[in-house]
Chains A and B, each alone.
Chain A
Amino acid sequence: MAKVFIPSLMQELTDGQTQLDIQGSTVREIIKELEQSYPGVKDRLMDGFKLKGNINVAVDGEVSPIGVLAKVQENSEVHFLPALGGG
């Protein structure tokens, strides 16, 4: 199961849980699984089939260039972060 870190301002949706062990082989599956237990998570993070434009997902510390399509391993860490730009 992947270790999913819940952003502090989203923990209202997860009964205050800061970290959850979730089954899934992609970020999309992880979000789907989260939504089962904690309704509202999907709408918070996604816009249709994609992550919202201002949210990034990092799997094992690497921001995914392919958003929710990123593969997730058995012991992966998953973080949802505000999107950032560079100069």
Chain B
Amino acid sequence: MPATKVHVTTTINGEPVEFLAEPRQSLLEVLRDVVQLTGSKEGCNDGNCGACTVNMDGRIVDSCLVLGVEAEGADIQTVEGIASADGLHPIQQAFLENAALQCGICTPGFLVSSKALLEKEPNPSEERIRMWLAGNLCRCTGYDKIVKAVMAAAKEMAS
């Protein structure tokens, strides 16, 4: 039985957005299949890989663990909202220059998480970065170059 859809008004990447969601649909499903923002990835659908990480009202969340209807009135930022009209954000540039991605499937989640960290703590230690990013799995890089990219971005943003 198709469920009755709920009308949701929200803000995504600074733009007002309205959509209809089934109550059972996760925010990730809504972002990808309804709003057509496929930058957030599904790796596990149970909150363990972090590939679907988005920023929701200033907190980073696994969008697979949030219901689409919970987006009502929220302010959501996805990977698609990180770059600006002026170009890539320093964290994006740092990931490229430090070869911090191989396959790139986990990259959107890492970028959203890292950006949130640097906005709260402009100069995090290696240990702090590792702790903060422990909810994002990467299977390609061994994290070395990701941690270095976050440190490089912090330096760039401070200058």
Do chains A and B make direct contact within the complex (CB under 8 angstroms)?
no
Interface positions of A (Cβ within 8 A of B) = none
